[in-house]
Amino acid sequence: MTTSTPISIATTYFEAGARGDLDTLMSVVSDDVTAESPVGPIEGAAAFRAFWENFGRMYKQIDLVGAYGDDDTAALFYNGTSDLGTLPSSERQSIVDGKIAHVVFIWDMAPFAGAGGPR
């Protein structure tokens, strides 16, 4: 049996998201995932995938700056490159039974004012 650490789960998730592989990204996300984001709450795997579909279209490239974890939490820091420039972002993930159960996304909404995204 392979034991996945929160940091390995988070990096699998990040690398999949960065290359647009939502099937792999969702393979490490709980069916009843919840998230908090600057654009509002997200509940359930279908809504989380829809969020990532929109999020992924917004960025031309996403580069990991740092990834840190402990026994049940991971934190990712990354820069997303979009038509609005480079947008620093971060997220804190709670890992339960080897899956991402809750995410708190953090980014500055100011660059999006008047740009029509993200939704």
Tokens of residue 91, six digits: 């997220």
Residue 13, classed as helix, strand or coil, is: helix
Contact residues for 109 (Cβ-Cβ < 8 A; gap 6+): 38, 39
Closest CA to 39 of 21, 23, 55, 60: 55
Is 0.85 topped by the overall pTM?
Answer: yes
pLDDT at 116 over 70: no
Residue 70, classed as helix, strand or coil, is: coil
pLDDT at 30 over 90: yes
CB count within 10 Å of CB 96 equals 13
58 neighbors 5 (Cβ within 8 angstroms): no
Mean pLDDT of all residues in 59-83: 93
Virtual torsion, Cα 68, 44, 99, 53, nearest 10 deg: -60
CB count within 10 Å of CB 39 equals 16
pLDDT of residue 114: 60
